[in-house]
Amino acid sequence: MLSKRIIPCLDVREGRTTKGIRFENNVDIGNPVEMASFYYEAGADEIVFYDITASHEKRNIMIDVVRRVAETIFIPFSVGGGIRDVDDMRNVLLAGAEKVSVNSAAVKNHEIISKGAEIFGSQCIVLGMDVKYVGESVKIPSGYEIVINGGRKYMGIDALKWAVEAQELGAGEICLNSIDADGTQDGYELKLTSLISENVSIPVIASGGAGKPEHLREVLTKGKADAALIASMVHYGTYTVSEIKTYLDSCGVKVRKSW
């Protein structure tokens, strides 16, 4: 059995790490380079970096920040936000990232997944999915709809259908974020996570809602996720990465030990 991964997430806006609730009311919480270094030293398995306004503002990702983070940490590093084509992917990978996460651009142009997988390998291509529960309908049979541009634009696309299609296109991993749970610290959206995890064969990273170690245990077991993204619970110092891993290990969840 593969170890479950614990992945701090740095949402970055204007060069600073920020955090909000359900994609709103974001506050500044620190320097992303310093925070990435801190989490690396604390035993994180990976780091995820999202330039959260790049797509909405139609600008390039902040490559200088990506490069400085990559120079600081020596664990897998995934970068997303504002990646529109394979040239953007190449620039991010050359700046030191191991993976690129495509979200809005992939919804608008599915070919970016297949081209990226062909050129760089599926292991480099992460599909970012921002998902909102809207209720079951003919158009959205799962009840979960894809939303892009930082939670601003509903696409009328069923989340489960899109996840399966993206895997077929060549995505090597899915980072699944529940907008409803994002920043609430009330727990991950287990129904959504298990739905996607059970219907794809590629790894699924659960995102949105982590507030205490029990939430990670639930999503990594009941939710069948392969990894869990964390933000608020470590950004505000409520828990450390080591404390989370120690708890999971005591519950029988296999993690890479860092203590």
Please give the positions annotated as active site: 11, 130
Integer Cα distance of 24 and 26 in angstroms = 6
As given in the structure block, the two tokens for residue 157 are 């696309």
SS3 assignment, position 5: strand
- Alpha-helical (H) ranges within the chain are 32-42, 63-70, 86-94, 104-108, 111-120, 159-169, 190-199, 213-221, 232-235, 241-250
Parallel, antiparallel or unpaired: strands 125-133 and 144-148:
antiparallel
Q: What is the DSSP string of 52-78?
A: TTTTTTT----HHHHHHHHTT--S-EE
SS3 assignment, position 35: helix
